[in-house]
Structure 1
């Protein structure tokens, strides 16, 4: 149920209420949510490998193909996604300091993770219909940065101590 709430609120971003509802969700749920989202993104590639008629994947048994896919596609993809989310959150930390907003890296990481929902779902749907290069996922980095800037503006300014 909480994963469904996380999905529904992440679709509503950068709505102020959605931001604060997502902020209350624990980091463990966020990591599970991102793992499921990356699994969703990898479905088109898995389908492509399962339906291949030539090459190494056509000669493998189903179990070996799934293990191979998990080790050599899903794990590197999820590592890359987590590193990019960390990069976006780090950039967001710098932007929040420039804007003098009261928001920290863990919150920005969590919000960055949730901003990837719409781009990842769109990529999955389009990739199931058309042949799409994985490099198009880099374009979604720009949309995440845009959403992070919008989210940072929701948080209050830092009080200047005298």
Structure 2
């Protein structure tokens, strides 16, 4: 099961069945999936950095930066990005009056990013990097995320207050 199951769920979103199965993914598998998405998004640029460094003869000096610091920054900024996108989910949850906790919104954010990250990486490998493309990928994420949130039931009157 594991990470491949997590990937399958990410690819099946925003189907109702996949959304409800997200909460059943083990934390270990979820965190591995999160790391793999970060590796995927950083891979094309990482390869470019390594090849540029090798061709300039500076790889020995720059290897620490490229192999350790760059991936660390990708994980840090990826986590911050997920935090910000999950915060948007908190606003959507409040407006839509859905029964969701922040931890699940955070998890849903990661899985909703599956298609946008895969497409971003593909376009990056092909050398297609436009701000409008990034905007389209953000809209794709928001559509998937919104559909996922709206699957959850509304808060009934009198329950939380």
* TM-score scaled by length of structure 2: 0.84
- 1:17-48, Cα deviation, whole Å (9 max, x unpaired): 11111121133322221111111111111221
Match of 1:20 in 2: 20
- Describe the superposition over 1:73-103 as per-residue Cα deviations: whole angstroms up to 9, x where unpaired: 2222221121121111112112112211111
Q: What is the distance in 2 between the residues matched to 1:66 and 1:132?
A: 26
How far apart are residue 144 of structure 1 and its match? Answer: 2.2
1:77 & 1:155 partners in 2: Cα distance? 31
The answer for unaligned runs of 5 or more in structure 1 is: none
Q: In structure 2, do the counterparts of structure 1 residues 131 and 99 end up closer, same or farther at CA, with 3 Å as the change threshold?
A: closer
User: Does residue 36 of structure 1 match 2:33?
Assistant: no
Q: Is the aligned partner of 1:68 residue 2:65?
A: yes
Residue pair 1:57, 1:65 contacting (<8 A) in 2 also:
no
TM-score of the two chains, using structure 1 as the length reference: 0.84
**Any runs of at least 4 consecutive aligned residues in structure 1 with deviations exceeding 6 A, and if so which?**
none
2:151 match: secondary structure: coil
Are the aligned partners of 2:10 and 2:112 in contact in 1 as well (CA < 8 Å)? yes
Structure 2: which 5+ runs fail to align?
A: none
Structure 2 equivalent of residue 112 of structure 1? 109
Superposed CA RMSD in Å reads 2.5
